[in-house]
Amino acid sequence: MSIPTRVKLVDVGPRDGLQNEKQPVPAAIKIELVHRLQDAGLTEIEVTSFVSPKWVPQMADAASVMAGLQRKAGVRYSVLTPNLQGFEAALKSNPDEIVVFGAASEAFSQKNINCSIAESIERFAPVVQAARAAGIYVRGAMSCTVGCPYEGEIAPERVSYLAGLMKGIGVQHVGVADTIGVGTPLKVQRAMEATLKHYDINDVSGHFHDTYGQALANTLICLQMGVWQFDTSVAGLGGCPYAKGATGNVASEDVVYLLHGMGIETGIDLDKLVDAGKFISDFLERKPNSRAATALLNKRVA
Ligand code: HMG
Ligand code: MG
């Protein structure tokens, strides 16, 4: 398999990135972040989650954020929907894509969405059916595909099992997530291969948190397998409230730098992306968690 010549990045910063922030981020700031990402050339943005506000208070403004967007032609806006209640709320804000999210680990499924893997699939099935009937694309996120904060290492067979269940209910695309960023390339390759038993290479993506600094290496091995879709988070924002200690997704800026350096097209303007990351980092009163952004910002000052 040859390395792809073009890669699609889904910036999950507004959702995965901000969901873990303790201080409330006003809807206007979230909206501005999405606008800056689309101006930087992102063609898919994971905007928010229609989840219980008791579970994830930061996402309580999902409907306002979606309502405030000035949508740009050619950009797809996705949202997380864990159940029919979330889907029905999401439907009113016209997402292009919805994301059901399950886990390869039983313990993480319980902690994150309060049900077993089997129960989660039962909950997702009517959501998938309703979304597809409404012409909305359905992506599935598969958490803990290499490691789980509660169960430790996860075997590829667990990933294959979940991918098969997702396929069985009509999920069109699945993301292979290293939720806690413990994966290293060969383990990630095995999780991806387990997924590819059920999904075509064009219907899978990588979603790598960078807790141990392995996400770029994990991205590279997936590129070598022919995977051309990845979730990344501007300024490396984020983490999951149910995976304590795990840091954000790999920074979009770092992945764009890697891809452009390899001659792979993304359609993204790295300078504008760095500006978007600086914008949200300034609001959060911290530096962007991206080596490439730091280097480029230092170069500007010099
Ligand atoms: P539950 O308590 O089992 O749900 O939560 P329930 O159906 O029994 O309902 C309990 C209450 O929640 C009721 O309210 C419902 O109305 C409400 P009450 O009567 O007590 O006032 N409720 C909702 N409210 C708003 N929107 C909804 C909704 N559903 C029920 N959709 C539930 C189950 C799934 C809702 C809950 O566990 C939840 O919200 N979990 C969200 C967890 C989450 O957002 N985690 C982070 C995202 S996943 C992630 O980050 C991983 C990913 O990035 C990939 C990776 O890195 O691994 C995607
Ligand atoms: Mg995540």
Per-residue pLDDT of 75-104, as tens digits, reads 999 999 999 999 999 999 999 999 999 999
Query: In a 10 Å sphere around its CB, with 0-12 CB exposed, 13-18 middle and 19+ buried, how is residue 301 labelled?
Result: exposed
Among 52, 93, 100, 249, name the best residue to mutate to test ligand 1's pocket (greatest count of ligand atoms within 8 A of Cβ).
Answer: 52
**Contact of 134 with 94, CB cutoff 8 Å:** no
Residues in contact with ligand 1 by the CB-under-6-Å rule are 16, 19, 49-52, 55-56, 80, 82-83, 85-86, 101, 112-114, 141, 143, 177, 179, 207, 209, 240, 242
What does the alpha-carbon distance between residue 120 and residue 150 come to, in Å, rounded to a whole number? 18
Q: What is the pLDDT of residue 1?
A: 62
Of residues 169, 123, 14, 173, the one with CA closest to residue 79: 14
Name the pTM for this structure.
0.97
User: SS3 of 206, please?
Assistant: strand
What does the alpha-carbon distance between residue 48 and residue 193 come to, in Å, rounded to a whole number? 29
Nearest CA to ligand 1 atom 17: 52
Spacing, Cα 185 to ligand 1 middle (Å): 32
In the chain, domain spans: 8-301
What does the alpha-carbon distance between residue 86 and residue 189 come to, in Å, rounded to a whole number? 32
Nearest CA to ligand 1 atom 9: 52
Q: Which residues are registered as beta bridge partners of 49?
A: 80
Of residues 199, 200, 198, 216, the one with CA closest to residue 208: 216
Nearest CA to ligand 1 atom 24: 52
What is the assigned CATH class of domain 8-301?
A: alpha beta
**Contact of 143 with 179, CB cutoff 8 Å:** yes
Nearest CA to ligand 1 atom 50: 240
Q: Please tell me the number of the ligand nearest to residue 145's CA.
A: 1
**Contact of 11 with 36, CB cutoff 8 Å:** no
Q: Could you give the count of Cα atoms lying within 13 Å of 189 in the half-sphere of its Cβ?
A: 10
Ranges under pLDDT 50 in the chain: none
Q: Please tell me the number of the ligand nearest to residue 111's CA.
A: 1
The answer to whether 240 is a known catalytic residue is yes
Spacing, Cα 299 to ligand 2 middle (Å): 30
Spacing, Cα 130 to ligand 1 middle (Å): 18
Would you tell me how many other CB atoms lie within 10 Å of the CB of residue 241?
16
What does the alpha-carbon distance between residue 255 and residue 245 come to, in Å, rounded to a whole number? 22
DSSP state of 19: G
Spacing, Cα 61 to ligand 1 middle (Å): 14
Q: Which residues are registered as beta bridge partners of 141?
A: 101, 175
Of residues 245, 212, 246, 248, the one with CA closest to residue 232: 248
Q: What is the pLDDT of residue 245?
A: 78
